[in-house]
Structure 1
């Protein structure tokens, strides 16, 4: 991931100081991330937004999207960083956590519709 971040930064003609200022982190943190350190979840999402790339691309280098997700009109790419973060968290949940989350989202959406 560090190599991709360095390439993205250089392609935009930016310095590590520029990126650090935009993300409100230290330049040394950006240096460490470009050298392969874990950026942390929040910075990971910020970097994807900043460079306008998917979390999947940033993490693995894969640019393609899932054909299963892109067949539904409400699930077409490009995905926002938040949508991709939600998918990743969903995959880490157990069945009980998923049911609870779906219930909470459904209630919140129905309240806003009414």
Structure 2
């Protein structure tokens, strides 16, 4: 789960593409999944969630990414449950999983 902020005059999609490149070193055009008003630790903000199928090697930036790995959805669910995640990421993942599987992309 890659995250970041949307820049001034930047679209959610452009921000998602930029963060994907900055954090994982891959190019791609993430598909918009959902947007919701997140409570946030300081104040509410809109959170946009995107997904992308990555077909090239991942080159994580160690200054941006603490750990990465390929997990199945059940493994990721357990990982999010037991590891330290910010509440906003947990909420985004919960909402993502709640979507009908027919509306989500398939690799």
Task: State the TM-score, normalizing by the size of structure 1.
Answer: 0.27
More helix by share: 1
More strand by share: 2
Higher Cα Rg: structure 1 or 2? Answer: 1
Task: State the TM-score, normalizing by the size of structure 2.
Answer: 0.28
